[in-house]
């Protein structure tokens, strides 16, 4: 299996094509053949994810000094689209893991980067991101998990974290958790990000959630019962947590939008093949105008969504002033379009689309949650509208 060679400048067309070929090969040979089985058995494919790390997918846009691949957000979006054609659920988990890696790479101290990045970029260990709480979903600034500063036994300072995080992907499997907790005043400015190792006393997990989709990745509560971490485990600075969380979500929204593109493209390709093979009333479905129109609309929606995702990824690379708004636009449009296209592909398959063995219903279930996570699509509209009004 080829590996992604770390780069520090823009890729040539040939280099980019070679990387995407390697990722496509991985998705088709290591993900796609097992996707239905993993979904049916709710199996988390640790060994396959470690193979993804060997390929260079554990730190796609992290710096290359500690194992990252150093690619751009535009390259990453193309990579996640290819991965999702193999299995949207696993592609989405790799996206979340990469978000954690980027946060440590960007905001971590030299000691934090040295401790965690080699483990995470290789995917010998996994990362989880803990923001959402049972009573604070879309209103992330309202989190109640507390972090109280106390003196440690050795005379230094440490923080005692208490609270519950909800809907955490990779919970119970990760080596490190980035936990957002309240260290100060109510609202966004009182939130701090902490690195919490998996073996920390007081850290535990709820039961694995039974979900509509994304069954190949575990989702659980993360429970912090007077978890003590040294002050050196603060990521960034005290009070900077909300800013860190929001900056990470810009990239996460692009990634999850790209995962929607990949899953929907897979479903569209299967629908095109199916309507050529399926005959009704003496002629193939492909000869029926209603089917032709449906396929045309599906392809058009995906093409438009892909253009938005690419534009937003480029804006993030260029640090454009409206990058956050573009990321919100791309996430809203691409995840809506992706689910609609996959659902229409199921409809074109008729009763067969509802069968597990055809794979279409799995993609529909997997893509549905993309309209909710990384900020619901209603919140994306709030971000876009407020930015327009502010401008």
Element (H, E) at 116: helix 110-121
Could you tell me which residues are beta bridge partners of residue 154? none
CA 123 remoteness from chain centre: 15
Strands 146-151 and 157-169: antiparallel
Please indicate whether residue 81 is annotated as part of the active site: no
With contact defined as beta carbons under 8 Å apart, do 383 and 348 qualify?
no
Q: 124: Cβ–Cβ under 8 A, 6 or more apart, which residues?
A: 50, 53
Active-site residue among 133, 158, 361, 374? 374
User: Quick count: other Cβ atoms within 10 Å of Cβ 50?
Assistant: 16
Q: Under 8 Å CB-to-CB from 330, ≥6 apart: which residues?
A: 253, 254, 257, 305, 308, 309, 311, 312, 313
Residue 331 corresponds to which tokens in the numbers above?
């996430």
**Residues ≥6 apart with Cβ < 8 Å to 12:** none
Residue 239 Ramachandran class (φ > 0 left, ψ -120 to 50 alpha, else beta): left
First to last CA, the chain: 48
Rounded CA separation 196/381 (Å): 33
**What residues are annotated to the active site?**
374
């Amino acid at each position: 299996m080829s590996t992604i060679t770390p780069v520090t400048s823009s890729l040539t067309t040939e280099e980019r094509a070679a990387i995407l070929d390697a990722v496509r090969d991985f998705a088709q040979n290591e993900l796609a053949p097992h996707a239905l089985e993993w979904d049916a058995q709710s199996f988390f494919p640790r060994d396959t994810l470690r193979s993804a790390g060997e390929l260079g997918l554990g730190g796609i846009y992290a710096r290359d000094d500690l194992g990252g691949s150093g690619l751009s957000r535009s390259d990453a979006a193309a990579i996640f689209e290819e991965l999702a054609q193999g299995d949207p659920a696993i592609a989405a988990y790799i996206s979340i893991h990469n978000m954690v890696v980027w946060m440590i790479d960007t905001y971590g101290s030299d000691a934090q980067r040295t401790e965690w990045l080699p483990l995470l970029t290789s995917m010998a260990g996994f990362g989880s991101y803990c923001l959402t709480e049972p009573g604070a979903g879309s209103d992330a600034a309202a989190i109640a998990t507390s972090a109280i500063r106390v003196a440690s036994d050795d005379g230094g300072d440490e923080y005692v974290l208490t609270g519950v995080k909800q809907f955490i992907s990779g919970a119970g499997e990760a080596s490190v958790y980035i936990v957002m907790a309240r260290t100060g005043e109510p609202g966004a400015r009182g939130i701090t990000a902490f690195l919490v190792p998996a073996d920390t006393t007081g850290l535990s997990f709820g039961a694995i959630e039974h979900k509509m989709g994304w069954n190949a990745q575990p989702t659980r509560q993360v429970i912090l019962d007077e978890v003590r971490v040294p002050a050196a485990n603060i990521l960034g600075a005290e009070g900077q947590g909300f800013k860190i969380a929001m900056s990470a979500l810009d990239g996460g929204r692009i990634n999850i939008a790209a995962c929607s593109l990949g899953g929907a493209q897979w479903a569209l390709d299967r629908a095109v093949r199916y309507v050529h093979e399926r005959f009704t009333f003496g002629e193939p479905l492909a000869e029926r105008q209603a089917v032709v129109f449906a396929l045309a609309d599906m392809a058009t929606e995906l093409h438009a969504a892909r253009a938005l995702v690419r534009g937003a990824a480029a804006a993030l690379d260029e640090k454009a002033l409206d990058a956050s708004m573009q990321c919100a636009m791309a996430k809203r449009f691409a995840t809506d379009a992706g689910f609609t296209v996959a659902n229409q592909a199921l409809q074109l398959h008729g009763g067969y689309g509802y069968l597990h063995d055809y794979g279409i219903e799995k993609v529909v279930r997997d893509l549905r949650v993309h309209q909710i996570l990384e900020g619901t699509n209603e919140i994306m509209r709030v971000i876009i509208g407020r930015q327009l009004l502010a401008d």
